[in-house]
Amino acid sequence: MIIEIYKPLKAYVEKTEQEVTGFLEFYSVCVNKIDCFIPKFKSLQLDVMPFSGFSNTTVCSVTFNAYCGDGAFIGAEPISEEVLYEFIKNLRLSEE
């Protein structure tokens, strides 16, 4: 299952100190019989500075350790279902 957030969001990439605009997706994975989600932030910008290794990436209230893929920042570790639901709840409240 993929959860896509269609609202353009800002991500802060710690390693490059860059703020990037894009969309956030969460890919469902099962870890030890527990549902978790891998975050993927897809950039809308062409001027994203690539980096090697991993960097803390913050989107709204969610911070995840990510590597730089092709125009995206992909979470190295899954986040819990509770963190995802809290993020979605806060996102909806900020829209009101």
Of the candidates 24, 73, 79, the one whose C-alpha atom is nearest the C-alpha of residue 51 is 73
In terms of residues, how long is the chain?
96
Query: Does position 90 have pLDDT exceeding 90, yes or no?
Result: no
Q: Judge whether 16 and 8 are in contact, CB under 8 Å.
A: no
Tokens describing residue 56: 């803390």
pTM over cut 0.95: no
**Would you place residue 95 in the very low, low, confident or very high pLDDT band (cuts 50, 70, 90)?**
low
Query: Does position 96 have pLDDT exceeding 70, yes or no?
Result: no
CA dihedral for 4, 44, 64, 32, sign (positive or negative): positive
Contacts of 17 (CB under 8 A, 6+ apart): none
